[in-house]
Amino acid sequence: MASESDVIRLTADLVSIKSDGLKDGEKEVAKYIHDYIRDSGFKSELIEFAKNRCNVVAEIGRGEGLMLNGHMDTVPLGDTSKWKYQHGKVVNGRLYGRGASDMKGGIAVILAALRDLKMQRPKRRLLLAFVADEELSLAGSTYLLKNRKKLFNKVRYGIITEPTDLHIDLAQKGAMDIKLSVKGRSAHSSRPQLGRNAIVDMSRAVLAIDSLSRGLKVRDSMLGRGSLSVGRISGGLATNIVPDRCEITFDRRLVPGEDLQGAISQIRRALDPLHIDYRLEVLFGKMPYKLPTSSYIARLVRSATGCGFGISTGYTEAELYNSMAGIDCLIFGPGTKRSIHEPNEYISTASLLKGRRYMAGIMNRWVNR
């Protein structure tokens, strides 16, 4: 049996390996995980599906399957001057570094708990799937689901170890990234009446989108209401030219009872009365997801851990695996939600130790049933 504190060292090692999805890729951290699994006595496969983009998969046992999943990529560091501690350093019970909570700590609890199975003979199958490029495009998981379908034969349940503060998250909102382009007509700024200002038209569109967000009617008992939030805007060439083009990208969150096409129709109904020349483009679109508390995997995890149910604040790949492979997934990990994507991201060492014990309990209950 591995020492419980190994999970802290594992997390520090993983965090110290850069895997920024925008520039580094996951190859180096994937190699570390691949070697760790093999050193633990199990077969592992390193799958490089694009340059520096790698997945790691391992299968243990046969029959009905439980997938344990985590993504290896991280978001960028951002302003490095705001980081106080070396990545992987532990200070006052917190392990700091990009990816500590999102979600290398979640991967570490799976790997550390895995060594408890070394001398056992599993009665059911575990599928470990550590994937690339979740933060940007879900490319790693999508590759496996489309190109390695046999991996998911008889896999009925899944646990995504995204940060949940050790709550068992059963529901998450759907997510859409939408680009709105508004076309105007350029003119010299001394004679603006000869043109049509695309930025002015866009400002009216932004207010309409904000009003729509505040008036959404569909409400879910767990997730509340959906939302719209404008995140980026660009337009104009120079201050002395009436701009003929302006673009925004905005986020639309969906709850059960809403869908992608309905959300677009709502936006069109809000924009059409403005009589502006616009175009909508959906850059990313995923549906909301909700797992009932009566699900077998929800009951197993709660029984093994004693943790309470909750909801995810963001989109996770639980919905992707459910919609593409019919796998009932929940989200359960040791990371803290409040520190993700921020400078000085951290994970509690106490949560890592608990998470490792909980994961060992879940895995042992699954394989020994």
> pLDDT tens digits, residue range 75-86?
999 999 999 999
pLDDT tier for residue 118 given thresholds of 50, 70 and 90? low
pLDDT at 122 over 90: no
Report pLDDT for 5.
83
Report pLDDT for 117.
81
Report pLDDT for 2.
58
Report pLDDT for 14.
98
Question: Going by CATH, does the domain composed of 174-286 fall within 3.40.50.300?
Answer: no
**Residue range 119-128: average pLDDT?**
85
Report pLDDT for 116.
82
**Residue range 179-187: average pLDDT?**
98
**pLDDT per residue over 26-37, tens digit each?**
999 999 999 999
Listed by start position, the domains of the chain span 6-172+288-367, 174-286
Give the CATH number of domain 6-172+288-367.
3.40.630.10
CA dist., res. 166 & res. 123, Å (int): 27
Report pLDDT for 329.
98
**pLDDT per residue over 301-322, tens digit each?**
999 999 999 999 789 999 999 9
Strands (E) located in the chain = 45-50, 53-60, 65-71, 90-91, 94-96, 125-131, 155-160, 168-172, 174-183, 219-220, 224-225, 227-235, 245-254, 277-286, 289-290, 309-311, 328-331, 346-348
Report pLDDT for 147.
98
CA dist., res. 261 & res. 252, Å (int): 12
pLDDT at 245 over 70: yes
